[in-house]
Amino acid sequence: MNESHPPLPLIEPDLDAHYSLEVVAEITGIATQTILHYREEGLLPSGPTAARKEEIFFDDATLCTLRRIDHLARQYEMSTPALKLLCDLLEEVESLRAALRSRH
């Protein structure tokens, strides 16, 4: 890298970040009602039971899942049960692959 260049912008992701429903809606561009629907249908980890929606928080992994679901729903017009099936399968494949890798 050339010394004379200004330093590259540094991005410091927070692995432990949690976001409220409103913030998640803003980050992902998905309506809060839709997010709550996916959550109620079991597509997102529900976390500790929250009495009010103001008390629901989401982490980065859930954000990624949410964007994936939204993409599949829009791109392929998948129904919620189909989305759930696909998400479960993807998760299972990923965990099996991880188990395979860690055994090397």
Q: 27 vs 40, which CB is nearer to other proteins?
A: 27
Q: 13 vs 52, which CB is nearer to other proteins?
A: 13
The three-class DSSP label of residue 42 is: coil
**Smallest gap, in angstroms, from Cβ of residue 91 to other proteins?**
11
Q: 21 vs 73, which CB is nearer to other proteins?
A: 73
User: What sign results for the dihedral spanned by CA atoms 25, 31, 35, 38?
Assistant: negative
**Smallest gap, in angstroms, from Cβ of residue 48 to other proteins?**
17
Closest CA to 24 of 61, 54, 63: 63
**Smallest gap, in angstroms, from Cβ of residue 87 to other proteins?**
12
What is the token pair recorded at 85? 């099936």
Alpha carbon 47 to chain centroid, angstroms: 13
Residue with tokens 């998760």: 91
Type of residue at 33: Q
Residue ranges binding other proteins (CB under 8 A): 1, 7-16, 27, 29, 60-61, 63-64, 67-68, 71-72, 74-76, 94, 98, 100-104
Q: Radius of gyration over alpha carbons of the chain, in Å?
A: 17
**Smallest gap, in angstroms, from Cβ of residue 52 to other proteins?**
26
